[in-house]
Structure 1
Amino acid sequence: MSVALDRVVDDYLAHVRTERGYSEHTVAAYRSDLADLLGFAEEHGVASVADIDLPVLRDWLWAATERGLARATIARRAASARGFTAWMTRRGLVPVDQGARLRAPRAQRALPRVVAAPALDEALARLEARAVSTHEPVDERDVAIIELLYASALRVSELVGLDVADVDRRRRTVRVVGKGSKERIVPYGAPAARALDRYLEQGRPTLAARAAEGARPSGSAFFLGVKGARLGTRSVYRLVAGVLAEIPGSGPSGPHTFRHTAATHLLDGGADLRAVQEFLGHASLGTTQIYTHVSAERLKESYRTAHPRA
């Protein structure tokens, strides 16, 4: 990638990070996609962003298809290119938005993994029993994390970003900042309240004290690591993977599984789709509708296994 092209990409990434509020994970994906695009363009004699036209963009996606990239990856690359060319047009770097007519095959959406309520109850009971028997602050924290992930359907970034002031114990709500720096208030129930109260009163003070012994200060962070600093996403992924490994079923083993599970259980219980959309913090109702398909599949499976004439 030439210095000139590299500078344009850096300016665009700074724009989506600061002005659009995109997460570092999304910015990294954009950087990877655009680096691949500009590398492809340079290999084909394109030396300026003004020369990246629609045929070049289409050839780039075709080359990705020939390499066997997944349709979801190609669809994401097309979206990255469209956002980049639209920004260049608004900035006056190019006269015409060449990416406006770029199309890619629609990504096939696999239905998310959903944990059955009885299996989830058993997993939470095991975590609770361990915390009660050990009185270890980490065990008390882990119960609070899993309870809150399921109770409030938080994204992992929202969970680790919580501060103590974000949790209203009297109203049983948490204030979270989601994608695009959008803020929302979500409730949690009695089991989560018990776990959070115990962690705040017993587990967190012990973990916070460890920061005073030389670790990086925890500040206002709600969930703390073993050395008293703010808990990271990797630790949450490890915890969740361990919990889900003990639950029958296949599929993803990350924190999002509890978000999927909460949304599906809400719809199964009769919650309104728009209420679930607000609960999850989805900008589009279409994103939330995936859970109606999950509920329908679960209903059909129950019908096949339970109805005498299925």
Structure 2
Amino acid sequence: MSSTQFDGDIDSFVSYLKSNRGLSANTLKAYRADLTACLHLFELRGVTDLNEITLDDLRSWMAVESRDHARSSMARKTVAVRGFFAWAYEHGVTNTDPAATLMTPSIPSTLPAVLTESQAEQLLDVAEQAVATNQYKGDGGAAAASGSGSGKAVGKTADKSADTVNRNEAPARADKRDSARVVAESQRNAAILELLYATGIRVAELVSMDIVDVDFSNRTIKVTGKGNKQRVVPFGLPAQRALETWLEQGRPVLARTATDAAKSRATNALFLGARGGRIDQRIARDIVHRAAREAGVPDISPHALRHSAATHMLDGGADLREVQEMLGHSSLKTTQRYTHVSIEQLKNRYGQAFPRA
């Protein structure tokens, strides 16, 4: 990231946001990058004082940025710049607020992609079948390994040296370990899919969860969302079963593969990666994309699974504010997008089923 002579002011603004707005670390990072890029451009144009920047300058900056960025990105950048200059004016850093009338680019209203209820069922059924299939293969592999050397081979092993026996047993042990890991990963993947769909949580919230965040007695999870705001979200019986299987059978297998450093960082993590550390967002996203391919449903992301959960809740009669609370939306307007999805699905079903449609 380029540095500017205005870095001190940017630091002060970001510290102000962190203390007074409770924004997430990712949002603060994005705002800092947006402001640094904006003020660096003005610095290249010879600006040495924030008071020299005018509304026309800011509009010129927007014109330059809009060539390479989507409207959604430009909206965020504009919010960051407007917030910065409002703060600067209020705190006496500048004499005026040149960004006060800077317009935020309008973002086209697009409906979020969602699965139908039957497609969601198909996705989760395939994940559950994968657990059963891999469990069977894993048990079979272990049985084959333990059964090798029986029968006719018993008489021959007496003539072999101990070194030869050890060489034959080593691959069997390795195969058994690999089978156990495959089973564990399929159990983890099923639990991740079930939990994402059952609760509608964000992928960042999923990977940051610890075991203690799950309350099986009430069938709820404690979620830490944007701005470190916490909420409690319920989940259903299928998710409970998948989580219990993962925690009792799969997690201990992957935990044994962890290095000491990874183990110390992931001691309490709910979900683990293949090397025993806390799973990262990239792997969680890949799990969802791969599961969608295997299930033969439209390719979706974890966020689309979140959209699907919200839409299906509304279709089932849930109150809009209940869904808002579950998803952790600060604004009801954000949640209202899902009512449009439900209406679109209703119109499609109406067109297919109603004789006078």
Determine if the TM-score, normalized by the shorter chain, exceeds 0.5. Answer: yes
Please say which of residues 32-41 and 112-121 is displaced more in the overlay.
32-41
Give the equivalent residue in structure 2 for 1:227. Answer: 275
Distance in 1 of aligned mates of 2:119 and 2:56: 52
Does residue 148 of structure 1 match 2:149? no
Distance in 1 of aligned mates of 2:75 and 2:325: 26
Does residue 183 of structure 1 match 2:236? no
Does residue 167 of structure 1 match 2:168? no
Give the equivalent residue in structure 2 for 1:129. Answer: 129
Give the equivalent residue in structure 2 for 1:236. Answer: 284
Distance in 2 of aligned mates of 1:144 and 1:286: 31
Please say which of residues 261-270 and 35-44 is displaced more in the overlay.
35-44
Aligned-partner residue type, residue 103 of structure 1: M
Runs of 4+ in 1 over 6 A off after TM superposition: none
Aligned 8 A contact 1:207 1:224 in 2 = yes
The verdict on how the C-alpha distance between 1:249 and 1:309 changes in structure 2, with shifts beyond 3 A counting, is farther
Secondary structure of 1:228 counterpart: coil
- 1:238-279 CA-to-partner distances (Å, cap 9, x unmatched) read 11111223456657x321011100100011111111111111
The verdict on how the C-alpha distance between 1:138 and 1:247 changes in structure 2, with shifts beyond 3 A counting, is closer
Distance in 1 of aligned mates of 2:3 and 2:258: 45
Shift of residue 53, structure 1, vs aligned partner: 2.8
The verdict on how the C-alpha distance between 1:243 and 1:233 changes in structure 2, with shifts beyond 3 A counting, is same
Secondary structure of 2:57 counterpart: helix
Structure 1 residue ranges without an equivalent (≥5): none
Distance in 1 of aligned mates of 2:65 and 2:253: 51
Give the equivalent residue in structure 2 for 1:63. Answer: 64
Aligned 8 A contact 2:47 2:53 in 1 = yes
RMSD: 2.1
Q: 1:245 aligns with which of 278, 289, 293?
A: 293
Please say which of residues 126-135 and 291-300 is displaced more in the overlay.
126-135
Give the equivalent residue in structure 1 for 2:114. Answer: 114
Q: TM-score, normalised by structure 1?
A: 0.91
Q: 2:350 aligns with which of 303, 306, 310?
A: 303
- 1:84-113 CA-to-partner distances (Å, cap 9, x unmatched) read 222323433123333222112311131111
Secondary structure of 2:232 counterpart: strand
Does residue 89 of structure 1 match 2:137? no
Give the equivalent residue in structure 2 for 1:13. Answer: 14
Structure 2 residue ranges without an equivalent (≥5): 136-182
Between the aligned residues of both structures, percent identity stands at: 43
Secondary structure of 1:185 counterpart: strand
Aligned 8 A contact 1:223 1:230 in 2 = yes
Aligned length: 308
Give the equivalent residue in structure 2 for 1:77. Answer: 77
Q: TM-score, normalised by structure 2?
A: 0.80
Aligned-partner residue type, residue 171 of structure 1: N
Secondary structure of 1:210 counterpart: coil
Shift of residue 115, structure 1, vs aligned partner: 0.5
Shift of residue 215, structure 1, vs aligned partner: 4.2
- 1:263-301 CA-to-partner distances (Å, cap 9, x unmatched) read 000111111111111111111111100001111111111
Does residue 158 of structure 1 match 2:159? no
Quick check: which has more Rg, 1 or 2? 2
Distance in 2 of aligned mates of 1:291 and 1:111: 8
Distance in 1 of aligned mates of 2:340 and 2:48: 46
Aligned 8 A contact 1:113 1:250 in 2 = no
Give the equivalent residue in structure 2 for 1:271. Answer: 318
